[in-house]
Amino acid sequence: MRDIHGDLQDRANLIEEQMNAAHAQFEQRLAQLKSEREARVEELKGELVGKLMDAEQRRFASPSRVPTLPEPLGDFLIRKLSENGPMSGDDLRLWTLREGHFADPESAARGCR
């Protein structure tokens, strides 16, 4: 029987070289994709900033967009009660949320339970 150890070693070395080449190619492609992704993200960030700036300029250029402050909460509650008669606490909370007295529904409910 002949010794095939040398042939097997050659074949293993060839496969290892192919694996190293494939790994190097993978790493190169990965670096290229990361670079392309970073460039695209920066491009999109630039577009987003531009659109936000345009929206802000339109918003501040329009005089009809001046925000109005809601009437004081106490005055609002008294007015609603006088207009509608007795109301539950939940109804009053809903009205205050609709009128913009509270930005967060949870803050309107604090201390009322």
What is the domain extent for residue 17?
A: 5-65
Model pLDDT, residue 105: 66
60 and 80 co-located in one domain:
no
51 and 77 co-located in one domain:
no
Average pLDDT, the chain: 85
State how many domains the chain has.
2
Global pTM reads 0.43
40 and 82 co-located in one domain:
no
Model pLDDT, residue 112: 54
Name every residue whose Cβ is closer than 8 Å to that of residue 81 and which is 6 or more positions away in sequence.
Answer: 87, 92
Model pLDDT, residue 107: 65
Model confidence at 64, pLDDT cuts 50, 70, 90, reads low
61 and 77 co-located in one domain:
no
Please give the full DSSP string across 37-76, using - where no structure is assigned: HHHHHHHHHHHHHHHHHHHHHHHHH-GGG---PPPPHHHH
78 and 35 co-located in one domain:
no
